[in-house]
Amino acid sequence: MDLQFLGHSAFKVHIPGATLLIDPFLSGNPSFPEGMSVEQASEGVDHVLLTHGHDDHVGDTIDILKATGATLTANWEICMWAQDKGIEKINPMNHGGCVNMGPFGVALTNAVHSSACSFDTEGSVADVYLGNPAGVVVMAEDEPTLLHMGDTDIFSDMELINEIYRPQIGIVPIGDRFTMGGRTASMACQRYFEFQTIIPCHYGTFPILDQSADQFTECMGDDAFRVAELKPGETVTVNNNVTAS
């Protein structure tokens, strides 16, 4: 499994038979890789997965879906919202279900957050409810299982998520204010999960977020070797629990 960090919480994931974009906030993303275009980032993509409806996660989803013909996998409300915008290839689901997409399976987990998109109407900003926030599990044969936590606080039922799906790769928000900070993110990883590779995200994008992963790595202590801190544009390959940049 190859995972390319595209800044903030956006990732391009390649597994045999499928290329996925998760939370493709690209244009307007201050941490999007310099010199890369949205077209380059979405080249070859056949699936877009969304954890929730906030603008910094939905990002360029609609434009990418129209340009690539990719399938959208997200909760029911997001899929219906996308359908109203002309998207035909949708795969609606919700917490508790698991959907076989052929090369991979996907499930949604709980996340402690909110979910809506904002738009301007007659000079004022309005929010549209887009279902419950989620984490996304990606499962493929002979590949490590990936959990993108989305935006979330720590919660004790993370232990159940680990028991059910046994994710080996964790994409973990650490930026504080809107998600876990470094200390609570390290607690979540050490107390509730058995990740072999941990990729921190949702930090350094905006001034109000923590600007580095230093606190998270420090709090991971002896487990810091499991942290793969990627710069935007970098790719990590994880096979059979072995990580290589």
> pLDDT tens digits, residue range 149-163?
999 999 999 999 999
Q: What is the domain extent for residue 209?
A: 2-244
> Is residue 231's pLDDT more than 90?
yes
Least confident range of 83-97, 112-126, 138-152: 112-126
DSSP string, 55-88: HHHHTTHHHHHHHH-PEEEEEHHHHHHHHHTT--
| Domain CATH number, residue 71 | 3.60.15.10
pLDDT at 245 (0 to 100): 60
> Is residue 186's pLDDT more than 70?
yes
Give the single-character DSSP code of 215.
H
Tell me how many domains the chain contains. Answer: 1
Q: What is the pLDDT of residues 107-135, one digit of tens each?
A: 999 999 999 987 655 566 678 899 999 99
pLDDT at 120 (0 to 100): 56
